[in-house]
């Protein structure tokens, strides 16, 4: 009887030790797992409105967003080494980007360029400092040069 109890206790201890090793190994592997894609419903309406893409190292490489809740991406931001380098927006909802976002080396927006009238040519520029607009320019007569200036 004592021998049976000893063996039972030994088996329990051994099983616990094996489980602890397995859990530690799973924990080590879990730390190495990196996301490839994360989908987010930011406004809780049941429709995905932001998708984040990650590279093999787990560093963000692209974000697609649906800013107008129509179920289609209309904003795209591209990253290098975790910093935003380029962005695009579809402001007229035709499925094609018509606004470009330009970022500095730190990933801060410095300028946007837009085709506001849909003719395929850039006709609006907004310049930013510290993430805030400081001035804007517009080409109203379609000659490719600004003819209206606004300071913020």
CATH number at residue 98: 3.90.930.1
Q: Are residues 83 and 146 located together in one domain of the fold?
A: yes
Question: For 17-26, what is the mean pLDDT?
Answer: 48
The domain total for the chain is 2
pLDDT confidence tier of residue 115, bands split at 50, 70 and 90 = very high
Strand pairing class (83-89; 60-65): unpaired
Domain ranges, residue 10: 1-33
pLDDT at 30: 54
Question: Burial level of 138, CB count in 10 A (0-12/13-18/19+)?
Answer: middle
Q: Are residues 29 and 51 located together in one domain of the fold?
A: no
Q: Are residues 13 and 83 located together in one domain of the fold?
A: no
Cα Rg for the chain, rounded, in angstroms?
Answer: 27
Q: Are residues 69 and 132 located together in one domain of the fold?
A: yes
CB atoms within 10 A of CB 72: 12
- Check pLDDT > 90 for residue 28: no
pLDDT at 33: 83
- Check pLDDT > 70 for residue 26: no
- Check pLDDT > 60 for residue 101: yes
Q: Are residues 54 and 7 located together in one domain of the fold?
A: no
């Amino acid at each position: 009887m004592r021998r049976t109890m000893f063996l039972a206790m030994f088996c329990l201890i051994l099983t616990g030790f094996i489980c602890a090793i397995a859990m530690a190994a799973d924990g080590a592997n879990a730390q190495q797992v990196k996301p490839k894609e994360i989908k987010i419903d930011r406004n809780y309406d049941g429709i995905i409105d932001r998708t984040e893409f990650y590279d093999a190292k787990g560093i963000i490489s692209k974000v697609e967003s649906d800013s107008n809740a129509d179920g289609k991406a209309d904003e795209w931001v591209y990253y290098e080494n975790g910093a935003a380098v380029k962005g695009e927006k579809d402001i007229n909802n035709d499925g094609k980007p018509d606004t470009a976002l330009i970022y500095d080396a730190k990933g801060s927006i410095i300028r946007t360029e837009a085709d506001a009238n849909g003719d395929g040519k850039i006709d609006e520029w907004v310049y930013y400092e510290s993430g805030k607009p400081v001035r804007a320019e517009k080409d109203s007569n379609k000659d490719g040069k600004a003819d209206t200036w606004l300071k913020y």
